[in-house]
Amino acid sequence: MAFQKPLPEWKKQGIRPPESKITEGYNVMDKPPAAWMNWHMNTTYEALEELQNNAVSKEDITQVIADKTSIVVTSSPPPVPERKKGTFYWCISDLAPLPPADGTIKVSPTMGIKLK
Phi and psi based region of residue 93 (left: phi greater than 0; alpha: psi -120 to 50; beta: remaining): beta
Q: pLDDT tens string for the chain (116 positions)?
A: 578 889 999 999 999 999 999 999 999 999 999 999 999 999 999 999 999 999 888 888 888 777 777 888 888 888 989 988 888 888 887 766 666 667 777 777 777 777 66
Asked whether the beta carbons of 45 and 12 are under 8 A apart, the reply is no
Contact 35, 65 (CB under 8 A): no
Taking the C-alpha atoms of residue 102 and residue 21, their distance in angstroms, rounded to an integer, is 63
Q: Is the pTM of this model over 0.75?
A: no
Single-letter residue type at 37: M
